[in-house]
Amino acid sequence: MKVVKFGGSSLSSGSQIEKIFDIVISDPTRKAVVVSAPGKRHAEDIKVTDLLIDCAEAYLRDVEADRLVDSILERYLGIARDLQLPLSIMDEIESGLLAALNGDKSNPERYLDAVKATGEDNNAKLIAAYFQYRGVEASYVNPKEAGLFVSDEPGNAQVLPESYHNLHKLRQWPGLIIFPGFFGYSKEGEVLTFSRSGSDITGSILANGMKAEVYENFTDVDAVYSVNPSLVRYPKEIRELTYREMRELSYAGFSVFHEEALIPAFRAGIPVNIKNTNNPSAPGTRIVNERSNTNGPVVGIASDGGFCSIYVSKYLMNREIGFGRRLLQIFEDFGLSYEHIPSGIDDISIILRQNQIVDEQMEADIISRITNELQADEVHIEHDLALVMVVGEGMRHNVGTTARAAKALAEAGVNLEMINQGSSEVSMMFGVMENEADTAVRALYEEFFGEKNQTKTGNSHGDWASV
């Protein structure tokens, strides 16, 4: 039995939904279909979720939003017309949207979640109606009805353990299940969304709860690539990678799969297969617990910007009991989360998303507290950093990977601000200035996947994806 999820680009129009219909009915083991809200139909288009956010914010400000409401309804109406559905389905969609928009605004975060969730919820109703129209036994199933309960954290809900037991009962549901992604319910009955792109999370939760053999995640690319295709022409496709490798790559900027979505599938040991709605015969990329390392030490290279580093130096820091705890307490007091902590015997750097430091006054206050409370010798902040990640399970069994990477970056003229390798040895991180990140990624790709490696790894241009 399979759980299958389709992203917004796969559901953006009637013609796309016809494709997903053919995909689903071509394999009788596909039992549950998790759907996103309609995505972009073309590059200049606006996702329905973004329209819903704009609409909710207008309602919260008590600003006229009729045009936004009409734009949202027009997207669903266009799909319904393309699919030749009875337009009575629009009555249900419109009433659901207006009910959310006119709901309780006393808690803006909860209100925004309720409005955002209508994107997936209404699309699931529409798609269930289409499957029924085509003669398939299919039912829209609401997450509350199914027992998908989540923590009371608007915009960042976490699944509650009891949900998996509840969702297992869906195996006995007659016919096909059409399930809206992105949201669940608190125990008090409030709608709460996962983080953005959370339909991936719903699909993974459902696969875990229903004990699926495979979780298929359909998007608009043939596979996960070893590097961002906008930086390198004809990048190598990744046929198979581990959960840990995908987690590292997702964290570092790979947007093809939501990083949090791996957790439920990983815990249940369910393989994830990323496939292309527009080319369903392509094998895609499988994410598994273990794989054979036959393609060299590195599987992928990614980068992400928007970081800063807070450098703290104090002589004999390593002898001072509690220094690290007190330093992190200061960060906690400011509501800051950190990403990495590379350190030496007399210095330590805290890497964090720099958008957490909202203004110069906050930055000055952080430096002042570290300097005064910890009697630090030096404290300074380096802005506009990018983290470049080199990822691969094979690095654990391969000598000289770090040296190769550092040499490639040096030859490309990229100055390294820091190097950090996790104890798992699945990834190494290089901190560089943001304006050098693309150069760094290209240099590392050429080192590990370029022409000189073709004879080593057995690759040929015939194995590479065209973009």
Residues making up the annotated binding site are 5-8, 49, 120, 219-220, 225
8-state DSSP, 414: P
Instruction: Indicate the annotated binding residues for substrate.
Output: 49, 120
Query: Closest Cα partner for 188 from 149, 142, 154?
Result: 149
8-state DSSP, 94: H
Return the structure tokens found at 240. Answer: 């198979």
Task: Judge contact between 151 and 158, C-beta under 8 A.
Answer: yes
What values do phi and psi take at 425, rounded to 5?
Answer: 60, 20
Partners of 241 in the β-ladder = 287
Sequence-distant (6+) residues with CB within 8 A of 452 are: none
How many alpha carbons lie under 13 Å from residue 276 in its C-beta half-sphere?
14
Which amino acid type is present at position 102? N
Instruction: Indicate the annotated binding residues for ATP.
Output: 5-8, 219-220, 225
C-alpha span between 402 and 379 (Å, rounded) = 29
C-alpha span between 21 and 130 (Å, rounded) = 9
Q: What share of the chain is helix, strand, coil (3-state, %, to 5)?
A: 45, 20, 35
Query: Closest Cα partner for 263 from 215, 193, 191?
Result: 215
Task: Judge contact between 122 and 76, C-beta under 8 A.
Answer: yes
